[in-house]
Amino acid sequence: MAPVGLCAFPQAARLFEAFYSGSGVLGKKREDMPEYFHLSRVPLKDRVNVLTIAAALDYQTDADRLWQAAVETYLDPETRWLFDMTQVARHDVEDVYGAMSAHGFTGRYPNNNAWYVWRLCRTFAHRYGGSPVGLLEEYGYDARLIHGRGKRLGDLPGLSPAERSCLSGCGFLRMWPESISGTYRTFRCL
């Protein structure tokens, strides 16, 4: 079932249903996407943070390698802290870079990406309780409101305005349904 916000846009709802549980869209089903395949190895309670941090780096990068490296970094007890936004906020950028480098989770722009992750995590830790879910809850899962807040949301590098609004609606729906308490939330979106 498509989230409520998509119901206002029947075409979006049909695409979501086809992608999520149907025949697929443009030959791809949700299960074919690298983030879905690799994130299935991460416990539900941690997927939101892993998904958000990796998505912030998913720019001009081999997506399959990026998501594989993200999960390898998460599964390594020495580098798992990189996905605890409160822990990242307590470290410096050099520590973040070292943890990201351990499994090649640096993307195409290693120094910039370490800086992005550090800044992104600091914002979520200081403003939203250490998780993107805190941002979503603060704005009632309302994509229009989140998108309209823009830079007032805080320093969220790597997440464009469209990606920030998609956090609460459309963009991450292929993974978020399982990531937030295992059930769909009511999304008020686009």
180 CB-near residues (< 8 Å, 6+ apart): 48, 133
179: part of which helix (H) or strand (E)?
Answer: helix 176-179
Q: Per-residue pLDDT tens for 68-116?
A: 899 999 999 999 999 999 999 999 999 999 999 999 999 888 888 899 8
Average pLDDT over residues 110-123: 90
Distance (Å, whole) CA 68 – CA 176: 18
What confidence score (pLDDT) does residue 16 get? 65
Checking if the pLDDT of 158 tops 70, the result is no
Residue 25, helix vs strand vs coil: strand
Q: Per-residue pLDDT tens for 9-26?
A: 566 677 667 656 666 666
On the CB side of 96, CA atoms within 13 Å amount to 26
Distance of CA 106 to the CA centre of its chain: 16
Residue 140's pLDDT band, with cuts at 50, 70 and 90, is: confident
Cβ–Cβ < 8 Å for 3, 173 = yes
For the full predicted model, state whether its pTM sits above 0.85: no
Please report the DSSP string for 44-84 in residue order.
HHHHHHHHHHHHHH-SSS-HHHHHHHHHHHHHSTTTGGGG-
Residue 27's pLDDT band, with cuts at 50, 70 and 90, is: low
Average pLDDT over residues 121-144: 88
121: part of which helix (H) or strand (E)?
Answer: helix 110-127
Distance (Å, whole) CA 145 – CA 152: 11
What confidence score (pLDDT) does residue 26 get? 60
